[in-house]
Amino acid sequence: MTVLRRHPDVHGAGLSIVEWRAIIDSAYSGAGHGAIRNVDEARGGHFDAIFVGGGSAGRFGAAVLRSLGGRALVLERWPFLGGSCPHQACVPHHLFSEAARELDQWQALQGRLWFPPFDPAAASILELVQLFRAQRSGPHAHMNWQSADQLGIEFVVNTEAEVLDTRTVRAAGRAYTADALVLATGSRAALPGIEGEGLPGVFDYASLVEDLDYEPRRIVVIGGSKVAVEYGSFFRAVGRPTTIVSRSALLTSGGPARMDADLRQFVVDGMRTRGIDVLEHSVATRIVGDGRVQGVEVLTPSGTQFLEADFVLLGTGEEAVTDSFADALPLRYDPRGFVAVDDRMRTNLDGVYAAGDVIGPPMEMFKSRRSGTTAARTIMGLDAEFHYQDIPDFLHTTYEVTWAGLTEDEARARFGDVATIQLPPRGMSPGDTPLPMAEGSMLYGFTLPERTGFQKCVIDPGSRKVVGIHHAGYGAKTAFQYLHHLMSRPAGLTIDELGDMNELYISSDYFVGYARLRANQATLTSM
Amino acid sequence: MTVLRRHPDVHGAGLSIVEWRAIIDSAYSGAGHGAIRNVDEARGGHFDAIFVGGGSAGRFGAAVLRSLGGRALVLERWPFLGGSCPHQACVPHHLFSEAARELDQWQALQGRLWFPPFDPAAASILELVQLFRAQRSGPHAHMNWQSADQLGIEFVVNTEAEVLDTRTVRAAGRAYTADALVLATGSRAALPGIEGEGLPGVFDYASLVEDLDYEPRRIVVIGGSKVAVEYGSFFRAVGRPTTIVSRSALLTSGGPARMDADLRQFVVDGMRTRGIDVLEHSVATRIVGDGRVQGVEVLTPSGTQFLEADFVLLGTGEEAVTDSFADALPLRYDPRGFVAVDDRMRTNLDGVYAAGDVIGPPMEMFKSRRSGTTAARTIMGLDAEFHYQDIPDFLHTTYEVTWAGLTEDEARARFGDVATIQLPPRGMSPGDTPLPMAEGSMLYGFTLPERTGFQKCVIDPGSRKVVGIHHAGYGAKTAFQYLHHLMSRPAGLTIDELGDMNELYISSDYFVGYARLRANQATLTSM
């Protein structure tokens, strides 16, 4: 094991993932190290670009800049690259959502097959948080190892960076210069600004991971978008009474504003069936407590309610983190406080770019990575643009919920009549058929057929193109990356091309097989 | 509920799935009905094509023939359309494999989180078989409903068909004629031809589903290809001591002959780690019993062994079912007894086509369906060909294992040097990194990182095309349908196009993200 001094220079040390993990763990415990430098000092302190922030935008941007022959430096306050995703956001969320899927299945199948009666004391939110907290440096270490060893990225981590001007950044007592800066400092949870939001027992997605030290027993989630739905589903699956308080109808604003109405209905019905109390068109007006949270006052369409709670999760949006550069740079921001950029990730300041969460929603990995690589390409003189109006999207309840393209309503508005392929078939009670039973919902297919999922494909009968795909189930999320790409080509994806593919039966989506059943129809009809 | 007489005519009755299910259940119990007819008698008894066999080949072929304006009749001995897949083959296999995945997880995580100590008495092979048997008419009913209601297919089910000549088939006392016949009668398990194979306690995939009436305690599986691996993994996951006896190295012959060596290694190592006893290069010479099976005599490279067993599964291949036409038609067969066809599914007899399992391997859904639709298109005068040399493929252990394109060895033979993108990284101990932790393996990522999976992308650095993809994990199987299609285009799929897609993080494959890390490299390097 390599022993490191304070402010160690690890350049060329060839650290293994196991060694990186020990370094990150000791840095995080406060026991050791200041800044950890992986910089080729022989090449001096000037770079083609400095990425301020080593999350996915900075890391992917730096990798591509280097692929193009440039020299990149990444500066990061945490002792690892990869950013908030593996530390507080998407990775723990996926761990919790997988636990939710398993625990939901246990509740659903209790007393059948090998499932004993469900025991809400068996699973613990605290234990899952502690498991994540104890093990999260594993992915962190992989990122550092990969960045240094496989990608050849230069970086200084475990240090606060301070932007001095459009060409100079100070970190760990050194000033580094570059021809370009890429601001990629991310986002954090935005507070709703209500009384009591600072009480112990009130958390956001990040402080949940960092600070939880007791087992929540009765939960209120404030918010109606992805974070609220995902964490609310998790808490309920563990067996905790959970209420979601949402200003608008659930999943109709914020991130997933363009969910197909039938898909949304399946998802929200499923949440209610599982016992989640959903208060829509309701506003949390005050969090009540006496030293710690005791409940939430809510204004509902039928009057004021008091919801008892020993745990409140705020899922009320995110704001840009600009501390390290706001004073030094006269940047233009959008109305919500995110750094304004154009399609090439250029800010209003010459040579200053921004990427990742700091430029605003969607707060998704592909946007973060691709905005970082777009900045890198632009800096290196390539003709790079990145548009993210038409994107695939997803969320978790106890299902993977994924969609891309147009909703049925949008398609009808655009094309007039449309053909749809849908499972369960339109108008049929989901309990009357086990379909779309598939990879991941086989046990339900033979026990609780109404739980197998929902899928819909929307086709413009004129062009025969697939214009929208919508799915709740398991195992189709990854497929939507490629389906969306096929749909986004200038030629689009016709139902006939789809039907000529080779399906891997039982696939989680029935799109290929059902398209084949309708292929060759001169006038497409729904099914 | 519609009440049906013997030999009922249900044409135009508009039966619901629930009504179909009652009919199928009573037909299957032997209580009621002879042939069930859904034929438009007003149009007479002559068709453009008769599909002999109502499995996926016949059903999809008939749907497409009808889409093209033709009149099709499907004849089927079982009381439902859909064939062996939902009755004895892929659907129960997927149910069992999903149970295997869940029970394997329980064994792996016992004593952690909410998982109690694993109890081999908790799960029962018999109970899962009985569950499937009791509920399988659900999918069957959906197929009948869909075929009649959504696809408008004419059919006679629950009757043996007898082919009289190349234009005439008799079923349920009626002779139907057609301009073309499509033979789609499927396959059944082939017996190895060893002493004792007829003993009670010796099963194949079909008789397991039909006949099992006791709980297997000690299991021997004979065979080394998909069926052996899939069912062996299931039996072991339930907690039963299981030995697989394979003539060659596991997964090197039969169906999946082209598995990448690293993928195969991950899969076979994983099976051994889970306690499956794998005897390779070994031949079962005799099944021993006294009224019922007691064990298997095996010739291994180190001598003869006797394996005690109260249950033996034969996974020794399949043979064509030709009973209904072999005497009447002077067909040409291939050396293994499958009906010989050309790329348009034409047999040696004018106007006689064949499709599905009866034409030989691969015994997969896409081949069955597409061969059926190719026959239909050919019959209707379209220029249709179907080649299935380059196909995506998959199997289950307790993982979904999926691959398409070239193995790394094949790619090296063809292109010289290749670039690979691999997780866990080449040469690294899988326990040293939680990656490729993803959707479906999140719990493992934080507990048993060596179990998260394996993935490899093989790239020809000259053309920058992705030429092979290989995956063991969860949730990527469906994606391979579309990835394979992208790779199979004349332009192929370059690493740069792959890297420009929008990934849905955490996706089950890391292909998009890692391609992006390598995109723009002038000379591609592996990672």
User: Which pLDDT tens digit goes with each residue over A375-430?
Assistant: 999 999 999 999 988 889 999 999 999 999 999 999 999 999 999 999 999 999 99
At A5 the pLDDT is 62
| Residue B366 at interface with chain A, using a CB cutoff of 8 Å | yes
- Which among B106, B425, B481 is the nearest to A507, CB-wise? B481
Enumerate helices (H) and strands (E) in chain A, giving the number of each.
Answer: 15, 23
Q: What are the pLDDT tens digits along chain B (527 aa)?
A: 445 566 688 999 999 999 999 999 999 887 667 899 999 999 999 999 999 999 999 999 999 999 999 999 999 999 999 999 999 999 999 999 999 999 999 999 999 999 999 999 999 999 999 999 999 999 999 999 999 999 999 999 999 999 999 999 999 999 999 999 999 999 999 999 999 999 999 999 999 999 999 999 999 999 999 999 999 999 999 999 999 999 999 999 755 568 999 999 999 999 999 999 999 999 999 999 999 999 999 999 999 999 999 999 999 999 999 999 999 999 999 999 999 999 999 999 999 999 999 999 999 999 999 999 999 999 999 999 999 888 899 999 999 999 999 999 999 999 999 999 999 999 999 999 999 999 999 999 999 999 999 999 999 999 999 999 999 999 999 999 999 999 999 999 999 999 999 999 999 999 999 999 988 888 999 99
- Which among B106, B482, B502 is the nearest to A392, CB-wise? B502
Cα–Cα distance, A149 to A35 (Å, whole number): 19
| Residue A395 at interface with chain B, using a CB cutoff of 8 Å | no
Nearest Cα to Cα of residue A263 among A95, A439, A500, A476: A476
Nearest CA in chain B to A400: B439
Nearest Cα to Cα of residue A514 among A436, A439, A442, A449: A436
pLDDT digits (tens, 9 = 90+) for A262-286: 999 999 999 999 999 999 999 999 9
pLDDT digits (tens, 9 = 90+) for A129-187: 999 999 999 999 999 999 999 999 999 999 999 999 999 999 999 999 999 999 999 99
B67, B126, B140, B482, best to mutate vs chain A, most A CBs in 10 Å: B482
- Which among A91, A391, A520 is the nearest to B502, CB-wise? A391
How many Cβ atoms from other residues are within 10 Å of residue B496's Cβ?
Answer: 15
Cα–Cα distance, A467 to A457 (Å, whole number): 8
- Asked if residue A31 has pLDDT above 90, the reply is no
Q: Which residue has the tokens 């029935």?
A: A510
* 3-state SS assignment for residue B402: strand
Using an 8 Å CB-CB cutoff, list chain A residues near B385: none
How many Cβ atoms from other residues are within 10 Å of residue B209's Cβ?
Answer: 22
Residue B117 DSSP symbol: P
Nearest Cα to Cα of residue B54 among B327, B368, B382, B360: B368
Nearest CA in chain A to B116: A122
- Which among B142, B373, B504 is the nearest to A477, CB-wise? B504
State how far the alpha carbon of B295 is from the alpha carbons of A370, A388, B215, B346, in Å. Answer: 59, 62, 16, 45
* 3-state SS assignment for residue A34: coil
Q: Are strands A352-354 and A174-183 parallel, antiparallel or unpaired?
A: parallel
Residues in Cβ contact with B136 at an 8 Å cutoff, skipping those fewer than 6 apart: B86, B87, B91, B92
Orientation angle between helical segments B408-415 and B261-273, nearest 10 degrees: 170
| Contact status, residue A360 vs residue A377, Cβ threshold 8 Å | no
Using an 8 Å CB-CB cutoff, list chain B residues near A446: 95, 131-132, 135, 138
- Inspect the interface and report whether the beta carbons of B434 and A139 lie closer than 8 Å: yes
Cα–Cα distance, A15 to A10 (Å, whole number): 8
- Inspect the interface and report whether the beta carbons of A128 and B139 lie closer than 8 Å: no
Cα–Cα distance, A178 to B26 (Å, whole number): 79
Is the torsion defined by CA of B34, B40, B45, B48 positive or negative?
negative
Using an 8 Å CB-CB cutoff, list chain B residues near A146: 425, 527
Residues shown for chain B = 527
Q: Are strands A400-405 and A293-300 parallel, antiparallel or unpaired?
A: unpaired
Nearest Cα to Cα of residue A256 among A229, A276, A233, A277: A229
At B257 the pLDDT is 60
Torsion of CA B464, B468, B473, B475, to 10 degrees: 70
Cα–Cα distance, A344 to A375 (Å, whole number): 6
Cα–Cα distance, B147 to B65 (Å, whole number): 13
Residues in Cβ contact with B228 at an 8 Å cutoff, skipping those fewer than 6 apart: B221, B222, B244, B246, B250, B313, B315
At B1 the pLDDT is 44
B339 pairs with which residues across the strands? Answer: B333
B301–chain A nearest CA distance, Å: 36
A426, A448, A482, best to mutate vs chain B, most B CBs in 10 Å: A482
| Contact status, residue A59 vs residue A76, Cβ threshold 8 Å | no
CB pairs under 8 A between A and B: 295
At A1 the pLDDT is 44
- What's the mean pLDDT when you consider all of chain A? 95
**Mean pLDDT calculated for residue range A94-115:** 98
Q: Are strands B187-189 and B318-320 parallel, antiparallel or unpaired?
A: antiparallel
Cα–Cα distance, B474 to B520 (Å, whole number): 30
Residue B96 DSSP symbol: H
* Amino acid symbol at B240: R
Torsion of CA B312, B314, B315, B320, to 10 degrees: -160
Cα–Cα distance, A343 to B214 (Å, whole number): 66
In the structure encoding, which two tokens stand for residue B497, read together? 């196009």
ipTM of predicted assembly, 2 dp:
0.96
- Inspect the interface and report whether the beta carbons of A439 and B369 lie closer than 8 Å: no
A396, A441, A504, A511, best to mutate vs chain B, most B CBs in 10 Å: A504
- Which among A373, A440, A443 is the nearest to B516, CB-wise? A373
- Which among B392, B435, B513 is the nearest to A139, CB-wise? B435
* 3-state SS assignment for residue B350: coil
- Expressed in angstroms, the distance from the first to the final Cα of chain B is 62
Nearest Cα to Cα of residue B221 among B350, B100, B315: B315
| Contact status, residue B263 vs residue B403, Cβ threshold 8 Å | yes
**Alpha helices, DSSP H, located in B214-364:** 226-238, 261-273
| Contact status, residue B396 vs residue B104, Cβ threshold 8 Å | no
Using an 8 Å CB-CB cutoff, list chain B residues near A119: 114
| Residue A445 at interface with chain B, using a CB cutoff of 8 Å | yes
- Inspect the interface and report whether the beta carbons of A501 and B481 lie closer than 8 Å: yes
Q: Mark which residues 152-181 of A lie under 8 Å from B by CB.
A: none
Cα–Cα distance, A414 to A391 (Å, whole number): 18
Cα–Cα distance, B475 to B510 (Å, whole number): 12
Q: Mark which residues 473-492 of A lie under 8 Å from B by CB.
A: 474-486
Is the torsion defined by CA of B435, B515, A457, B144 positive or negative?
negative
**Mean pLDDT calculated for residue range A332-336:** 97
| Contact status, residue A357 vs residue A186, Cβ threshold 8 Å | yes
Using an 8 Å CB-CB cutoff, list chain B residues near A141: 433
Q: Which residue has the tokens 């009666």?
A: A117
- Inspect the interface and report whether the beta carbons of A370 and B502 lie closer than 8 Å: yes
- Inspect the interface and report whether the beta carbons of A478 and B520 lie closer than 8 Å: no
Residues in Cβ contact with A137 at an 8 Å cutoff, skipping those fewer than 6 apart: A21, A24, A25, A28, A80
State how far the alpha carbon of B526 is from the alpha carbons of B422, B423, B518, in Å. Answer: 8, 11, 9
* 3-state SS assignment for residue A94: helix
Using an 8 Å CB-CB cutoff, list chain A residues near B391: 502
Nearest Cα to Cα of residue A242 among A208, A211, A215, A278: A278
Q: What angle do CA A179, A181, A186 make, to 5 degrees?
A: 170
B193–chain A nearest CA distance, Å: 31
Strand order in the sheet with A465-473: A393-396, A400-405, A465-473, A454-460, A419-423
Q: Mark which residues 67-86 of A lie under 8 Å from B by CB.
A: 67-69, 85
- Inspect the interface and report whether the beta carbons of B520 and A114 lie closer than 8 Å: no
